Structure 1
Amino acid sequence: MLYGTPRLEAIDRKVLDEIEEMRRDLKYRLAETHRWDGQLRRQLQARAIQGSNSIEGYRASVEDVESIMSGEEPLETSARVAREIAGYQQALTYIQLLSRAAVFRFDAGLLHGLNFMMIGHHPDKTPGTVRSGGIYVRNSATGEVVYEGPEAERVPGLLDELVSWLNEGDLDAPGYVRAAMAHFNLVGIHPWRDGNGRMSRALQTLVLGRDQITTPEFCSIEEWLGEGRNTYDYYDALGARQRRSWDPHDDMLHWVRFCLRAHHMQAQRVRRRLAEAGEVWMLLEEQVDAEGLNTRAVSALYEVFVNRRLRRSRYQADESLSQGQAARDLRELAAKGWLRPYGETKGRFYAPGPRMQAIKDDFAGRITPLRDPCR
């Protein structure tokens, strides 16, 4: 028996309608191709990877996550954390492909495979195979057991039940609700020795991706869940309904409401970023054109607008340039006050120069707070 899908109330349907309206608007805007789309998608995926891993204590900057995604050595992140980031990226990349697959069904093998992608670098944790013993979640500060997973011999049957539900259960429920329940049930079963939290959040993203609402990077709430106080609220929402052990019940509305609020807040943020991307790109194009610079330089300037730093190799790959062309462009942008270089050789990167910082400060002053749909 799994945890049951709750019946929504009027306030929940109102929040859900607003989420779906924002997602439809995003889908409409994304139907038209823009120069900044690729970078925006990459940044959203990097933030989702950063958020989900930070919940587990694997912390890395967005810039280092992007470096790891492109196969580069990160500037600050340890090799241990970089392996976790790379494994999670591999799984999310596969989820992106599965979201668009013409033929698809959930099965236990898929879930085991995704777990192996995430933690395959930990052979001692038997990645991709059902745990053989009990499992406990502890409070990292006190060591107290806050949740005990179901007995190991029950796990295969529970996974089969979850897979059957993913394919056939509650199909009339909104996708956001089904995704939330998939997340909760998988993390409750806790089928593997490691990676259960990340797998559950990734499964939530996959369920939404299969709904074809928007692509996974635009519908994930992993960034939101991984931020500061939100992470504590996330643990509180899980704990309030898990009741310390596997004990399926139908009183899940509080959990679903938590997830709907997270989707609403993240959708506001993504919509704002998409609108901002267009405005910033056009502004930078005007500046580059006025100074007689090559239009491709906008790509480099946009990268340092949204992130703290840019590496030559990323700009080179984004614009399909030779090493010499990319280096010359960045030197020219630094000479004109757009960028500021730091470091040497492989550790060299470019941060916003005074002219770019002025634009960043101007946009930062215009940002309006997100609206909490539950208040």
Structure 2
Amino acid sequence: MLYATPSLDPADQAVLAEIEDMRRDLKYRLAETHRWDGQLRRQLQARAIQGSNSIEGYRASVEDIESIMSGEEPLETSGSVAREIAGYQQALTYIQLLSRAPAFRYDTGLLNALNFMMIGHHRDKTPGVVRPGGIYIRDSVSGAVVYEGPDADLVPKLLDELIEWLNDGDLGVPSYVRAAMAHLNLVKVHPWRDGNGRMSRALQTLVLGRDQITTPEFCSIEEWLGQQRTTIAYYDVLGEVGRRQWSPHGDTLAWVRFCLRAHHMQAQRVRQRLAEAGEIWMLLEKQVDSDGLNTRTVSALYEVFVTRRLRRSRYQADESLSQGQAARDLRDLAAKGWLSPYGETKGRFYAPGPRMVEIKAEFAGRATPLRDPYVQAR
């Protein structure tokens, strides 16, 4: 028996309708190709990876995560955390491919494979293999047990039930609700020795991707969940709904409502970023043109605007340049006051220069505050 999908209240239906409106608007905007699309998608994926891993205590900057995603050594992140990031990025990349695969069915082998991608570097934790014994989740401060997973001998049957439900259960339920219930059931079964939280959040993203809500990086709520206050609320609602032991009964509406709120808030944020990306790009394009610089350098300036720093290799890859071309462009941008170089050789990076700092300051605080949909709906 799994945790059952709840019926939605009118307030939830209203929030869901608003999420759908934002989704349709997003799909419409993404249908038209823009120069900044690739960088925006990469940054959203990096932020999703950052959010999901920070919940587990693995913290890295978006800039370092982007470096890891491209196969480079991060500048600040430790090797152990970088391996966690790389594993999760590998799993999310596969989820992106699975979301578009013409032939697809969920199965236990797929879930085990995703778990192995995430934590395969922890061979002592038998990655990709269902746990052989019990599992206990402890409070990181007090050490007290806050959740005990189902007995190990029940896990294979529960996974089979979850797989059957993923393929054929509640197909008439809104995708956001199905994805939330997939997340809840997997995290409560806790079938592996490690990576269960990340796997559950990734499964939620996969369900949405398969239902063609939009591409995974645009529909994931992992970034939103990784914020400190939201993370606390996330654990609180999991404890409220799931209780201290495997107990698949009772009302799960509080969990679904939490996820709907997260989707609404993250959708507002993504919509703002998409609108801001176009405005920033056009502004930078005008500045580059007036300085007599090559138009391609706008991608370097945009990267520095939305993150803290840029490495030459990133710009080189984005614009398909030779090492010499990329280095010359960045030197020109530094000479014009757009960038400030730091470090040497492999550790060299470019941060915002005086002119970029000025433009960033003009944009700071311009974003409209996000609206809690349930405050408005009730």
Q: TM-score, normalised by structure 2?
A: 0.99
Q: Deviations over 1:1-48 (max 9, x none)?
A: 000000000000000000010011001100111100000000000000
Q: Does 1:115 align with 2:119?
A: no
- SS of the equivalent of 1:8 reads coil
Give distance in 1, aligned partners of 2:373 and 2:228. Answer: 19
- SS of the equivalent of 1:170 reads coil
8 A contact 1:5–1:250 mirrored in 2: no
User: 1:361 offset after TM fit, Å?
Assistant: 1.1
Residue of structure 2 equivalent to 1:237: 237
- SS of the equivalent of 2:147 reads strand
- SS of the equivalent of 1:230 reads helix
Residue of structure 1 equivalent to 2:34: 34
1:336-375 matches, within 5 Å, as: 336-375=336-375
Give distance in 1, aligned partners of 2:63 and 2:81. Answer: 14
Q: Does 1:268 align with 2:261?
A: no
Residue of structure 2 equivalent to 1:51: 51
User: 1:373 offset after TM fit, Å?
Assistant: 0.5
Q: Deviations over 1:193-219 (max 9, x none)?
A: 000000000000000001111100000
Residue of structure 1 equivalent to 2:325: 325
- SS of the equivalent of 1:30 reads helix
Matched length:
375
Give distance in 1, aligned partners of 2:373 and 2:285. Answer: 36
Give distance in 1, aligned partners of 2:326 and 2:243. Answer: 56
- SS of the equivalent of 2:15 reads helix
Give distance in 2, aligned partners of 1:250 and 1:214. Answer: 31
Residue of structure 1 equivalent to 2:91: 91
Q: TM-score, normalised by structure 1?
A: 0.99
Code of the aligned partner of 1:350: Y
- SS of the equivalent of 2:117 reads helix
Q: Deviations over 1:59-80 (max 9, x none)?
A: 0000000000000000000000
Give distance in 2, aligned partners of 1:118 and 1:65. Answer: 15
Q: Which runs of 4+ in 1 moved over 3 A?
A: none
- SS of the equivalent of 1:341 reads strand
1:57-136 matches, within 5 Å, as: 57-136=57-136
1:222-261 matches, within 5 Å, as: 222-261=222-261
User: 1:250 offset after TM fit, Å?
Assistant: 4.2
Give distance in 1, aligned partners of 2:188 and 2:228. Answer: 23
Stretch of structure 1 that moved more, 84-93 or 358-367:
358-367
Q: Does 1:300 align with 2:310?
A: no
Q: Deviations over 1:105-129 (max 9, x none)?
A: 1000000000000000000000000
Identity rate, percent: 82
Residue of structure 2 equivalent to 1:14: 14
Give distance in 2, aligned partners of 1:248 and 1:228. Answer: 28
Could you tell me which runs of 5 or more consecutive residues in structure 1 were left unpaired when the two chains were aligned: none
Give distance in 2, aligned partners of 1:120 and 1:133. Answer: 19
Code of the aligned partner of 1:183: H
Code of the aligned partner of 1:20: E
Give distance in 2, aligned partners of 1:183 and 1:103. Answer: 23
- SS of the equivalent of 2:374 reads coil
Give distance in 2, aligned partners of 1:221 and 1:213. Answer: 13
Alignment RMSD, CA only? Answer: 0.5
Give distance in 2, aligned partners of 1:164 and 1:51. Answer: 29
- SS of the equivalent of 1:365 reads coil
User: 1:365 offset after TM fit, Å?
Assistant: 2.6
- SS of the equivalent of 1:366 reads coil
- SS of the equivalent of 1:106 reads coil
Code of the aligned partner of 2:20: E
- SS of the equivalent of 2:340 reads strand
Give distance in 2, aligned partners of 1:67 and 1:36. Answer: 18
Give distance in 1, aligned partners of 2:203 and 2:320. Answer: 34
- SS of the equivalent of 2:295 reads coil
Q: Does 1:288 align with 2:288?
A: yes
1:200-239 matches, within 5 Å, as: 200-239=200-239
8 A contact 1:6–1:250 mirrored in 2: no
Could you tell me which runs of 5 or more consecutive residues in structure 2 were left unpaired when the two chains were aligned: none
